[in-house]
Each structure stands twice: as structure tokens, then as C-alpha cells.
Structure 1
Amino acid sequence: MTEFTVGDRVAWVYAYGSYAEQIVLPAANAVPAPDDIPDDVAASLMMQGITAHHFVTEAADIQPGQTTVVHAAAGGLGQKLTQLIKARGGTVIGIVSGAQKADTARQAGADHIVLSTGAAFVEPVLDLTDGEGVHAVFDGGGETTFHASMSVLRRHGLLLYYGAVLGAAPMVNLRELPRSIKISYPVFRDHIPTREALLRHSADLFDLVRNKNLAPGIGHRYPLDAAAKAHRDIESRATTGKLLLLP
């Protein structure tokens, strides 16, 4: 590959060992970072941005007028999902765990905010949709919210479940799925199976930033030697937005 030369700015995904001042990675994993996109914005977009883009364009294919639920709407991925859904003409009911996160989710574009932990969001969501339910739920909450998320979907609605990192995946009896709903476990690599797809989707994200339809939502920046603290802060669920490590 001769696409890059010494001194080029690049952004990347899936490079083990990225917690470092210098790394070696396959050139096929890197994309050119445009001159008008700052380093921190490019870094914040690659994994979460491509993930959110996959969810709303291919896994769910959100259409104008559709209503969605976004769990952890104040988080880095939640904010990007909200903005991309809004850019496609959808309505967002943002779920947040505390009042201090409500403003962050609202600023990202959420139309409605529901304060909830566990399954407490079910009744408010059904009230907001006149009992009909939503077209799609984006659920990274793990087993604690999985079954409740199914219960707020309308007929043929879609549950995008990506909470496996939070514990064992819930067991599902297909015969017990209500209202002919669908469940997807969207895998990141299925959105960028080729280098051409990686370049195309990352370029789309950069365009969304330029057009003011997507903001990086950076919550905090840490020096590289504070990586352990960054992880503790994530686990505390007290953070909002994308967290960055700076070499």
C-alpha cells in the first residue's frame, strides 16, 4: 500500500497496543485524517462513530418519523446515536441514569428524557408513544434492561443489543418474543468488512462533523499515565461523552 507517506495524519480502529506514544499497525486499518478535523475529534469518531453509524444506517436503517429509545444517551456512543438518528429524521427517547446526565443527552438532541435504572423506563416510554411502542431500541445496558427493552417495541420493532461486555448475554426463547419483534447483535466488523467500506463510512462521519450534524461529545481527556483512572471513571458510570487518553 502506497497511500500514506511519512508525516501523514491518520486515524484508526482495532489496533491492539494503542495505549502508547507510538504504535505499529497495518496500513489497511488507518484512514487519512482530513486537515480540517482535529486530532481529538478524529480519535473520538473512529470506534464509537463507526459503531453508531453501523447501528442507524445498516443494522436498523432508521427512517424519517421513526421513534427510538437510546439507552445511556449521555454516554459517548449514546450521544452519537442520538445525533445520527436525528440527522436521519428520527425521534429519540433518551434513557439516562441520573438528572445530572439529562442536560447532556438533551444537548445531543434527545427529544424526550427518561430517568431510569433497570426496567423503570418501560411505563414512561409507553406513555410517550401512546402505548404503541417504538420502532427501535439501542440497548447497551446488558441483561438488566434487555427484557424491558423488548417490552417497549411496537409490532415488528427492532432491538439492537450490544451489551455483552456488561455480562452474559440473556437467554431468549424465540416463541416468547412479543409482537413479532426482531433482535440484532450488530458486529462492528460487519460494517467495515473491506478497506473501501472503512474509508467510505469514516468519510461520511467526517462530513457529518463538517455539516454540524455530529459533534464528538468529548467528556474528558486524561494523560496516558492516568489510563487506570479513566477505566475506573467509566466503571463508575459517572462520566458523560467520549473519554480520551492523550500521549
Structure 2
Amino acid sequence: MSDMAKTVIIEEHGGPETLKLVEREVGEPGPGEVRIRHAACGLNFIDCYQRSGLYPMTLPHALGMEAAGTIEAVGEGVVHLAPGDRAAYSSAPPGAYCEARVMPAAQVCKLPDAISFEEGAAMMLKGLTVQYLFHRTTPLKAGDTVLFHAAAGGVGLIACQWAKSEGIRLIGTAGSDAKCALALEHGADACINYATEDWAAKVRELTDGKGVDVVMDSVGKDTFMGSLDSLKPLGMMISFGNASGPVDNFNLGILGQKGSLKLTRPTLFTHIADHSACQEMAGMLFGKVVAGDVKIRIDQRFPLEDVAEAHRTLEARRTTGQTILTLG
């Protein structure tokens, strides 16, 4: 079977106006590949970084890092999936903004029947990110305290619930009282409106001057130094995104001055590069969702044809929870 599929591509780096919807031939899966027909696609900040050129790509290139749908065909050597299986993924290379595609099979995961395609498309990149933040980056245990920026966003709302399910105290930040209320509803112990409060000082107040064990910061430039100031001695700073821009010209000696702090800059795609690790991580995420410990909140839906407006909305920080692109 070989046909055409609507696909979003960029031919140059730039703003949302560079996104183009074209027809592309799908083709057949080769060894180690699958052909998947999408029901929904996820939207993430990494898509904006790739579009803008912050994370440069060889052009032209399709965009999108996660989706869910039905396996139509499998190539030689693929044994964990079969035609007809429901599946979801977050995976390189980019190309998920489409009706159907052929792609490497290793990071495509069989989706439990109890999880809808929309939930699957919305949860993979963000949910697997939370999994590695809490289980693969630094040891965390019940009773530890975490500061989590953008706590009402897609990753944040999953993190609030994940922390609560494991007895970890999560202090969030968000840009409005309404977003703070949303984070609290999803399990945050406290949430600070950074638009009206000195959030770093408030973190110190909430921890009796001690600071937190771990900061999880996807904002980047605007929060970086305040995040370091929020840590207790020997604390861990996890910088996993650049929503406000990249951190430049950082003096490593500051970590010593502020209490022998630790700093890491992980990426999801390093953690899921190994097939077995990816499937194990997804199994834990699926288990949290099926058990009801984590509920996937989809607050924004855009037709695939409106992908440019979806990017504008995300970059303007006008979203809460998850955002998906719908098909059909």
C-alpha cells in the first residue's frame, strides 16, 4: 500500500508562517520500520525550537515529535508491533504532523485500550519527560521537595500528579492566579504566581529557608539564576528546556559558590534511544494513566490545517495542559 498523506513541513527556519501543509507519498516500511496512520498528533515546545532554528535541521523537513494511531504495516525484524495495533510514540526523526508516515519502530509503543488516541498523542513526549525527571535523572524519594516551573503547562500538570502519587512535595510556578489554581488542583503542594511575587524568595519561605532538593526548569534564561538560588546545598538543578531562550555564558564556578550544586541538561531522546528503556518508561507512564494517578488534560485542539495558529498560541503561553492537532 502506498498513498499520499497531508504533512506539515518547513522549507526555511522562522516563525509560524513558515509551516506548510503539503501532500507527501507515504511508502512502505523497510527493516525495523512501521507504517502508522495517525488519529491525533501532539504539540510541544521542541517543535517551535526546530521550526525557529534554535535546534537547526536539514531543510526541507517535516515537523512533529509525537502522535498516536494504528499500525498499518511492519517491516522485517519488528516483533513488538503488528498491523492493527493501537500505538503511540515520541520519537525522532521529526515528522509526526501528518496523516500517516513510515518511521523507525523502536520507540513506537503499543497503546493500552484504556487510553484514547487523543490522550496517547498528548502524553508521550511530556509524560516520558516526567518519567525520566523523576526516575532516571537523580534519586528522588517520598518526602523530597521539588520546584517545578510552568507547573500548569503540559509537562507541569503531569508532574504535579506524578509527584503526588509518589509522596514528593512539588512547589510550582505559573504566570497567573488561574494557572496556579490549576496546578494546585492537579496535586501541587503550593504554586507561586511569578508575575506578582518574588518566586525565589517565596520558595525559601516555603522551605523554612532551606531550599528544595531538586529544581526542574524548562523555562531557561528567565528563571535559571533564581532556580539555582532556590536549591539547598548539594541540590540538583535539572535544566530541560528553553521556553524563554537559552542560558548563555554561565560561569560554572557559581555552582560551588551557591552550595556545591549539581547541574544537568538532559534530553528525552537520549533516555529513550535504547528500545528496551523506552518501552519500560512507556510502561510506567501507561500504568500511571490507567491507574488514574495521572489524568491527561487536553485543553486545546487545533485541526492539522491550523498548525500555525497552534504554534502562535503555544509560544504566547496561552495554553494550559496538553495541546493536540486533530485529523479528519
Other structure's SS at 2:136 match = helix
Within 5 A, what are the aligned runs for 1:58-69?
A: 58-69=136-147
Indicate yes or no: 2:191 matched with 1:113.
Answer: yes
Distance 2:243 2:222 in 1: 13
Correspondent of 1:218 among 298, 305, 308: 298
CA contact (8 A) 2:224 2:247 kept: no
Larger Rg: 2
Other structure's SS at 1:155 match = strand
Correspondent of 1:198 among 273, 278, 281: 278
Q: Deviations over 1:159-201 (max 9, x none)?
A: 1112335423233222222111111111212322311111111
| Cα displacement (A) at 1:116 | 0.3
Indicate yes or no: 2:263 matched with 1:186.
Answer: no
Other structure's SS at 1:59 match = coil
| Cα displacement (A) at 1:117 | 4.0
Instruction: Give the direction of change, closer, same or farther, for the CA distance of 1:101–1:136 in structure 2 (3 Å limit).
Output: same
Quote the residue 2:320 is aligned against.
Answer: 240
Distance 1:3 1:60 in 2: 30
Distance 1:229 1:105 in 2: 25
> Given the two structures, how large is their TM-score scaled by the length of structure 1?
0.95
| Cα displacement (A) at 1:104 | 1.2
Instruction: Give the direction of change, closer, same or farther, for the CA distance of 1:19–1:193 in structure 2 (3 Å limit).
Output: closer
Other structure's SS at 1:25 match = strand
Distance 2:201 2:119 in 1: 37
Other structure's SS at 2:223 match = helix
Partner amino acid for 1:146? F
Partner amino acid for 2:320? T
Indicate yes or no: 2:156 matched with 1:72.
Answer: no
Indicate yes or no: 2:208 matched with 1:123.
Answer: no
Distance 2:139 2:161 in 1: 14
CA contact (8 A) 2:142 2:168 kept: yes
Q: Deviations over 1:133-180 (max 9, x none)?
A: 010111111111100100010011111112335423233222222111
Indicate yes or no: 2:82 matched with 1:5.
Answer: yes
Correspondent of 2:166 among 58, 67, 88: 88
Distance 1:145 1:224 in 2: 33
Instruction: Give the direction of change, closer, same or farther, for the CA distance of 1:238–1:30 in structure 2 (3 Å limit).
Output: same
- Unaligned 5+ segments in structure 2 are 1-77
Indicate yes or no: 2:302 matched with 1:230.
Answer: no
Within 5 A, what are the aligned runs for 1:36-51?
A: 36-51=114-129
Q: Cα RMSD over matched residues?
A: 1.6
Partner amino acid for 1:87? S
Instruction: Give the direction of change, closer, same or farther, for the CA distance of 1:238–1:114 in structure 2 (3 Å limit).
Output: same
Partner amino acid for 1:204? M
Counting matched residue pairs gives 247
- Unaligned 5+ segments in structure 1 are none
CA contact (8 A) 2:239 2:263 kept: yes
Distance 1:186 1:53 in 2: 12
Which of the pair is proportionally richer in helix?
1
Distance 1:184 1:156 in 2: 13
Other structure's SS at 1:143 match = coil
Which of the pair is proportionally richer in strand?
2
| Cα displacement (A) at 1:70 | 0.7
Distance 1:119 1:171 in 2: 27
